[in-house]
A and B are shown apart, each in its own frame.
Chain A
């Protein structure tokens, strides 16, 4: 049968009252989970799995999927309004979003974020309908290709460093160092764990991100806001025509970046938002405004994040491979009903498969409709007296850190990284590179080792596939591009002694062009 006829049948199924109700419930629950820092969708999805036994596969899975993408809308709110990212993927949004909020432009930032989320999700869904062959093609990518993706990601650190590239590079190293803690991915030997089994899996990314970015921000706030009690003015909500116009490009690029990152089963998913941010910082029309509140820095990452969220479902739907924890839970929901995700699902149970795909679109419409009017409500967060807000947010973060693994150890991680982040903020150090390299570190290491094991130690394998060769060349180009080099050079002159370890000093000397950030 024709794909579109099946898709239409899927929409018909979803628009039944029961399915709509479950989609709505999932969306609302997802948004709540997304808003609360540290509360990830996996816990909510897993806890609601038993509901699917009762209500049957279609409404059950619709709800579970809705929790996942609903949480992506919710995660933006604390990131933009409070500079508190609840998960690694919201970090990039805080960079420009919070600056905008401080200028009283939190409303437009949230509207653009919601619109971007919707655009990203829609592109992801269209891609999902059309991209089954693509998903099968990317299975051919191996360890060296994922290593190349990691290297390309690493080259973006400079773009995330703001005014101070040197400090950014130091932070990148800190992030990589944090990523080294845990069991060696090859030998299984504990590294830097001090004999604590809690550290065997490494330092938890969610707890670190909440501490480093969120808790440190709340601590900074204590310095001057505890008495004044107000954060900022609310400002208008609707974005200007100018905002919309400037967001079109970032949304288009963001949805493509997110889609392809999600499609690859072994790729560093959360890094997509950083990729988008770093790209916009260099290519968008408003790049000069980055660091001082550029709407592109919200539109791009938010779109990428939602496009990614939908695209991660593609390997599960088309191949039966769950590429993340949340996908593993969704796959569980299929399996308990005797449904096998993968090509067989489309052959044996096309009604279920297409109903769920159609529900993704319907759910995203629900979220858009819910979100835009709610922004007015969210903005009132800014009116809560800081003493109360501090207690609420920090309390929720502590609870969230505990819930990540159910162990109190992560509360300690949260508090320590909060204090660490506070010190770094005081030193005016850009924090984003830490989050990026923490995400990329393990992917780089594992895939490098795996590639070398598979090639019997031959380093040439790393550029042995067209895909990896292209990406590695891209990474070199990014690093060597003129303005960044010039920027590095000015720093070099000033602090030569400290910079002996700076990784990029290759060739090229250009006269100092005016760069966006110097």
Chain B
């Protein structure tokens, strides 16, 4: 009987091992990296800190076939979800810097490392950005049955009644909370910040007038704006946002607050420069090929993406700027209320 149990246990362990073997092998890569023939047909893994079917996942998966053509190898997208991306980012930062592991290091969500409470084991220096491939623009939204029709009315009310205006955020210290804090500073107002666990609860609360405001990217609000449940008080931007041309920008009111949200691809720090430039060029070429593909671009437009390639240098600069901005705002946001 013992032996039977032992055999059964062994077999139980063997099934998942055998099945997951394929994906873990791909991370190994081999030693083709250092030479000119990278990737030499070896498969590349893209580690995705977000769940399958999300906005970043859909975009990357749509781009992957173009990138596979450029690099002449197969690419596996691995969704590793957890701790707002921290589990995946820890894995990316600690991966073999051979170019066979590429990470999705979106800005500003990756910057959660600035918050010491998160006990992140990585920071900007742990990654070498390759490229930015997409930007999301953001707005300040309120319910269409809410109290204010314009940003000025809202700001005037908030200035007269500190703490009376409530704004829902995706967890304290999250992306939108930081932009809220930046706006509070710029407009000299004080909101009551109410954290939500997921975006749909926040949206329900906004439509149901449980909260007054929500800051977020345009695609999140698009269906609600189209159906008239939600109105945009302002675009968090210097220039007007495509599709919302009649919504005034925060800059036009003199508030220098911009919603910046990018899909970024990076490799672990220490990756050979030749390999990096190989990958960067391939991403650039893949993005160009994708832009020429009408089906791909239609999908991007429908999803509210602002698809476009920016190189590693540009990405690095944005990262450095945002990092500095975050280090200033995160402590304020977490202590503020």
Contact = CB atoms under 8 A, between A and B. Distances in A.
Contacts of B209: 140
Contacts of B226: 340, 342, 344
Interface string B115-157: 1011110000000000000000000000000000000000000
A197 interface: yes
B61 A50 contact: yes
B208 A142 contact: yes
Contacts of B51: 42, 46, 325
B155 to A, nearest CB: 21
Contacts of A399: 15-16, 19-20
Contacts of A141: 208
Given A227-B1, A336-B302, A446-B197, A197 B57 contact: no
Interface string A311-333: 00001000111110101110110
A226 B197 CA distance: 45
B13 A398 contact: yes
B8 to A, nearest CB: 4
Contacts of B196: 446, 450
Contacts of A265: 200-201, 204
Interface string B5-30: 10111111111100110000000000
B76 to A, nearest CB: 11
Contacts, number: 214
A341 interface: yes
B334 interface: yes
A189 B117 contact: yes
Nearest to B197: A446
Q: What is the size category of the interface that chain B forms with chain A?
A: 35 or more
Interface residues of A, number: 76
B58 interface: yes
Describe B's contact surface by its main secondary structure.
helix
Given A139-B208, A266-B201, A394-B12, A227 B4 contact: yes
Contacts of A188: 115, 117-118, 171-174, 195, 334
A222 interface: yes
A488 to B, nearest CB: 34
13 contacts: A188-B334, A197-B87, A315-B200, A320-B227, A327-B200, A335-B223, A340-B223, A342-B223, A342-B227, A390-B8, A393-B12, A395-B11, A453-B194
Interface of B: 1, 4-5, 7-16, 19-20, 51-55, 57-58, 61, 78-84, 86-87, 90, 115, 117-120, 163, 166, 171-174, 192-197, 200-201, 203-205, 207-211, 219, 222-224, 226-229, 295, 298-299, 301-303, 334
Given A198-B82, A341-B223, 6 more contacts: A47-B52, A332-B54, A338-B298, A343-B227, A394-B12, A450-B195
Interface of A: 42-43, 45-47, 49-50, 53, 139-143, 183, 185-190, 195, 197-201, 222, 226-227, 265-266, 315, 319-323, 325, 327-329, 331-332, 335-338, 340-344, 387-388, 390-396, 398-399, 402, 405-407, 409, 411, 442, 446, 449-450, 453-454, 456
